[in-house]
Amino acid sequence: MDSIIAHYSLTPSPYSPPSLPTLSSSITTNLSAPTLSFAHRKPTMSRRDVIASASQTLATPEPKENKLWGGRFEESVTDAVERFTESISFDKLLYKHDIMGSRAHASMLAKQGLISNSDRDIIIEGLNKIEKLIEDGKFEWRTDREDVHMNIEAALIDMIGEPGKKLHTARSRNDQVLTDFRLWCRDAIDLIVQRVKYLQVALLKLAIKNEGLIVPGYTHLQRAQPVLLQHLLLAFVEQLERDAGRLLDCRARLNFCPLGACALAGTGLPIDRFMTADELGFTGPLSNSIDAVSDRDFILEFLSANSIIAIHLSRLGEEWVLWASEEFGFITPSDAVSTGSSIMPQKKNPDPMELVRGKSARVVGDLVTLLTLCKGLPLAYNRDLQEDKEPSFDSVKTILGMLEVSAEFAQNITFNEERIKKALPAGHLDATTLADYLVKKGVPFRTSHDIVGRAVALCVSKNCQLKELSLDELRSLNPVFDKDVYEYLGVENAVEKFSSYGSTGSSSVAYQVDYWVTKLGITKET
């Protein structure tokens, strides 16, 4: 499955406008030279001969290969149209899935008596040879053959002759490309889910390594309550688990086969769509031929799931970029995941996570491109849908890179315990726990909230912490306070008082860690 990564890099489109003529070097290097005279040159060809020769060249262009779909056409498309409409520059990465689908299709045609077993064997042998040529880098991808399907089919016909012409029986490029694309998406999802798990393991190991470390928890980017670092890191593990779940749900929905739907209406030939679906590992064939070739909801859902992953990774990146700053100083990335400045020699920047944050915009943009592309298209297939490939390829390539580098970063950071401990007293993080104390004493929460608010105001005026207030000072706010109140004050005590399911209390977090250790299949000593 890892082999799919090697094919995610996109090849630039060969389409480009004709280059403008350039001035000759003799003129451009001496603009002040006198007007050139041709009086002493021996004429090699008269003006009339030049024009006649040019006209003859224009009138007899280089003959082009007949398109496999070109039977009713008397003229070839222009070069500009050919360059503009080709997709081979990017869809050739579907070659493996295209050949896989063609093998299954040939086997089904033979079983149904639409081609002979001999033809089937010749076709499959030819497809195997073409696949080997592609993998060895010896296959010629031709723009005039438009796309991956026509390149492979035309090459097959060149290689094996008449049997190759039978392969396209009872299928269209419409159902063929959708079959390829769904197979590709299935593999891509499997790979992304693997990378998600890899990041989850990296975060869990980081949590285990920092057991017991308390950090400030924030709301509105203001200090709120103390939390265990393990609890914070496991929040991202939980998010990633839902991300993987969305991908697997998407995989289940897209795992239906379009092959045999043909252009849009199916076929009158006696094909077996259930056979091809089963051979390709699909749950079954899509049940409506128009829907099979016209909708792209499966790729919209896939790119939507990718976008949510990207947003989660961007938030992780933002957290760590902030924490690596001098103002926070909570983490120190190793040199292996940092970069420097070209002008400021003291700088050490967490660039990988900044790029993770930045590339999330790209993944979201790929989704928006697809949503806009599909908006308002009439049924069934339209050529607009050729444009679904590049954003999809880019989304997968980008999200794989974001997941990989996030895991690398997690494996190469150190939490600065002393700096964090010195920072903890600021912000009165135990205020809510003090309010809980009053509630346990029978004081209504809104009254408790007011009392603790006045206690914080007293601390601000005295420049001290809540735990530094005397019992008399606390009783001046409300007589219910007793000596046991100090068991609730200070960040360490506050954290220990959190006992609800899923909270940041040490027993709750220990349960969460054990759960993820078992689920992800690692050991605490790892």
pLDDT in tens, 255-271: 999 999 999 999 999 99
Q: Looking at residues 185-214, what average pLDDT do you find?
A: 97
Contact status, residue 218 vs residue 523, Cβ threshold 8 Å = no
* Residue in 99, 221, 251 with CA at minimum distance from that of residue 167: 99
Q: Looking at residues 31-46, what average pLDDT do you find?
A: 41
Integer Cα distance of 479 and 3 in angstroms:
71
* Adjacent-strand bridge partners of 414: 332
Sign of CA dihedral 174, 178, 179, 184: positive
Q: Looking at residues 153-160, what average pLDDT do you find?
A: 96
Instruction: Tell whether the model's pLDDT for residue 60 goes beyond 60.
Output: no
Q: Looking at residues 27-55, what average pLDDT do you find?
A: 41
Torsion of CA 239, 368, 3, 282, to 10 degrees: 80
The structure's pTM equals 0.84
Long-range contacts of the stretch 415-419 (C-beta < 8 A, 24+):
415/210, 415/213, 415/229, 415/330, 415/331, 416/329, 416/330, 416/331, 416/332, 417/213, 419/329, 419/330
Tokens of 317: 């990146």
Q: Which residue has the higher pLDDT, 133 or 86?
A: 133
Q: How far apart are the first and last CA of the chain?
A: 26
Name the pLDDT band for 101 (thresholds 50, 70, 90): very high
Residue 50: per-residue pLDDT: 40
Contact status, residue 485 vs residue 443, Cβ threshold 8 Å = no
Name the pLDDT band for 231 (thresholds 50, 70, 90): very high
| Angle formed by the axes of helices 389-410 and 351-374, nearest 10° | 160
Does 1.10.40.30 match the CATH number of domain 422-520? yes
Instruction: Tell whether the model's pLDDT for residue 387 goes beyond 50.
Output: yes
Integer Cα distance of 248 and 149 in angstroms:
28
* HSE-up of residue 282 (Cα within 13 Å, Cβ side): 29
* Adjacent-strand bridge partners of 217: 225
Where are the alpha helices (H) located in 324-470, listed in sequence order? 351-374, 389-410, 417-423, 431-440, 445-462
Asked if 174-418 and 422-520 have one fold, the answer is no
| Angle formed by the axes of helices 95-111 and 173-209, nearest 10° | 130
Instruction: Tell whether the model's pLDDT for residue 438 goes beyond 80.
Output: yes
Per-residue pLDDT tens digits for 439-497:
999 999 999 999 999 999 999 999 999 999 999 999 999 999 999 999 999 999 999 99
From residue 72, how far is each of 68, 86, 153 by CA, in Å? Answer: 11, 20, 20
Q: Looking at residues 503-515, what average pLDDT do you find?
A: 95
Residue 124: per-residue pLDDT: 97
Identity at 463, one-letter amino acid code? N
CATH for 174-418 is 1.20.200.10
Name the pLDDT band for 65 (thresholds 50, 70, 90): low
How remote is the C-alpha of 303 from its chain's centroid?
Answer: 7
Integer Cα distance of 489 and 466 in angstroms:
7
Instruction: Tell whether the model's pLDDT for residue 421 goes beyond 80.
Output: yes
Q: Looking at residues 193-197, what average pLDDT do you find?
A: 98
Residue 398: per-residue pLDDT: 97
Residue 6: per-residue pLDDT: 45
Q: Looking at residues 356-378, what average pLDDT do you find?
A: 94
Sign of CA dihedral 174, 16, 59, 151: negative
Instruction: Tell whether the model's pLDDT for residue 374 goes beyond 70.
Output: yes
Does 1.10.275.10 match the CATH number of domain 87-169? yes
Q: Which residue has the higher pLDDT, 215 or 33?
A: 215
Residue 99: per-residue pLDDT: 98
Active-site annotation, residues = 220, 341
Q: Looking at residues 6-12, what average pLDDT do you find?
A: 39
Residue 13: per-residue pLDDT: 36
Q: Looking at residues 310-322, what average pLDDT do you find?
A: 96
Residue 75: per-residue pLDDT: 67
Instruction: Tell whether the model's pLDDT for residue 47 goes beyond 90.
Output: no
DSSP output for 392-430: HHHHHHHHHHHHHHHHHHHTTEEE-HHHHHHHTTTT-TT
Instruction: Tell whether the model's pLDDT for residue 302 goes beyond 80.
Output: yes
Name the pLDDT band for 345 (thresholds 50, 70, 90): confident
Residue 524: per-residue pLDDT: 78
Name the pLDDT band for 216 (thresholds 50, 70, 90): very high
Integer Cα distance of 435 and 443 in angstroms:
9
Tokens of 258: 């379009």
Instruction: Tell whether the model's pLDDT for residue 67 goes beyond 80.
Output: no
Integer Cα distance of 126 and 132 in angstroms:
10
Residue 48: per-residue pLDDT: 53
Integer Cα distance of 104 and 123 in angstroms:
11
Decide the pairing of beta strands 256-257 and 284-285: parallel
Instruction: Tell whether the model's pLDDT for residue 12 goes beyond 50.
Output: no
Q: Looking at residues 207-227, what average pLDDT do you find?
A: 94
Residue 276: per-residue pLDDT: 98
Q: Looking at residues 113-122, what average pLDDT do you find?
A: 98
Tokens of 210: 């920092």
Q: Domain ranges in the chain?
A: 87-169, 174-418, 422-520
Q: What is the mean pLDDT of the chain?
A: 87
Residue 284: per-residue pLDDT: 98
Q: Looking at residues 24-51, what average pLDDT do you find?
A: 40
Tokens of 397: 């390539």
Kindly give, in sequence order, each residue whose CB lies less than 8 Å from that of residue 160, ignoring residues fewer than 6 positions away.
Answer: 122, 123, 125, 126
Residue 431: per-residue pLDDT: 95
Determine the longest span between alpha carbons in the chain, in angstroms.
117
Name the pLDDT band for 68 (thresholds 50, 70, 90): low
Instruction: Tell whether the model's pLDDT for residue 339 goes beyond 50.
Output: yes
Integer Cα distance of 364 and 372 in angstroms:
12
Tokens of 515: 């759960």
